[in-house]
Amino acid sequence: MIKNLWRTFILAVTAASMALASCGGAEHGPAAAGPGWPQWRGPSGNGVSAETSWNPMALQGTPKVLWKKDVGTGYSSPSIDGRGHLFIMGLRSTRLRATCLDAATGRELWGRDLERTPLETQGTPATDGDRVYFLNWDGLLVCLKTSNGAVLWNTDVGSGLPASKTAGGWAASAVVEGNLLLLNANTEMMALDKLSGKLQWQIEDQVPVGSWGSYATPVVSGVGAARRAFFLGPSTLFAVDLPGGKVVWSFPHHDDIHAVADPIVSEGQVFISLPNLCFMLNLSSGQPSPGWKTQFTGWLPPPVLLDGYLYGSHMPPEFYTTTWEGVERDPMPFRCIDWKTGKVMWEKMMGHVTLIAAGDKLIMIELNGTLHVAEASPKGYTEIAITRVLADGTGPKTFAVPPVLYDGRLYCRNFNGELTCIDVSK
């Protein structure tokens, strides 16, 4: 059913998740070094890790599992601060729980039951080191103290701000930017004061007929005073100056199905992947002008951009109406696309993949828990290692969010709440 398919995508992407995004300048090798993996898709929000002290071959065959932990059902991806504190969210019984673990050992440092009872969690926490932010399925946004989980503030995105709830709940991740907390709240693109939760500015969008809204996480690009946020709303892409919130330009995307994948920004260009289409926007004139179009559509997290090439799964339209089990079962194209031209360099049929990149390697996980490490090369698909998370069959298999690489360890989380930590150190 579409509803089940949608939930998965969101991955985790998805509800609070995330401090997602794909930030500018990331295609030239690893992302800039940052404190841990503090948000959806890492320090730069682009799914690219700066880590070099890891061994791809550690994932060949039967890898060394350091620990497993039940964190509750949902699609929340782990966030990890520079001290090795791992933050994650999950539904345990009838309570949503925010949890802080020791990333090395899996030991629980603290846990906080939040005030609401959601259907499931879809988002990834974001942390600035002192505070961590969780957004619930039904719109509860909570700021906790990272040292002990104490509640610093909370607000209701749907009624306190307010914003229009999507058909499937809140699934975009918050992004910490300076003193601001950026949030794509479906019809409202907004910035809050990260210390108090007070609304600083907001931009309104409209939901097209038939659309569920937008679940894409904001993306931040630029340097110094030229910082800019990109919000992919239900019907419009907005470019917004930071920190003030002035709309520099807007571009209607005309897709009537809900947006999920974050925009990817690099060198004066923005790539958008939507369920019905994908396209490149050129910004050389200061205003967006359409560039190439190609087949790289999908509902799930965006591809990664590395050394001038995009890597990720293309979900053909026929998959949008299938069951989630069908998406898990049936192969689809994993593609490499030239960033400048849109040319498909190669494709390989495999299960739907979410991924990150580290150095010149792709770390991919299929929905059934099959992990792959492959070369990031436009010349073709070359696999380095393959293994199966939970290969012993002791746990559920729906791995809908990308893995996280931190300090020689790889973290994989499935929907039913099993978080697995694998040793990939050199």
Beta bridge partners of 364: 355, 372
**pLDDT in single tens digits along all 426 residues of the chain:** 334 444 444 433 433 333 333 333 333 333 333 469 999 999 989 999 999 889 999 999 899 999 999 999 888 899 999 999 999 999 887 788 999 999 999 999 999 998 665 566 778 999 999 999 998 877 889 999 999 999 999 998 877 776 766 666 777 899 999 999 999 988 889 999 999 999 999 998 887 776 777 888 999 998 666 899 999 988 899 999 999 999 999 999 877 777 788 999 998 899 998 877 888 999 888 889 999 988 777 667 789 999 999 999 988 766 655 566 666 667 889 999 999 999 999 999 998 899 999 999 999 999 889 999 999 999 999 999 999 887 665 555 689 899 999 999 999 999 889 999 999 999
The structure tokens listed for 18 are 């995330």
Give the residue carrying structure tokens 């059913």.
Answer: 1
Distance CA 35, CA 79 (A): 11
Of the candidate CATH numbers 2.130.10.10, 3.40.50.1100, 3.40.50.970, 3.30.310.80, the domain formed by 2-423 belongs to 2.130.10.10
**Among 233, 299, 231, 295, which residue's Cα sits nearest to residue 261?**
299
Query: Please, are residues 315 and 300 in contact by the beta-carbon 8 Å criterion?
Result: yes
Residues 229, 252, 354, 96, CA torsion sign: positive
Beta bridge partners of 358: 49, 361
Beta bridge partners of 48: 357
**Among 255, 232, 230, 225, which residue's Cα sits nearest to residue 240?**
230
Query: Domain residue spans in the chain?
Result: 2-423
How many Å is the maximal CA-CA distance in the chain? 55
Q: What is the pTM of this model?
A: 0.89
The structure tokens listed for 237 are 């892409």
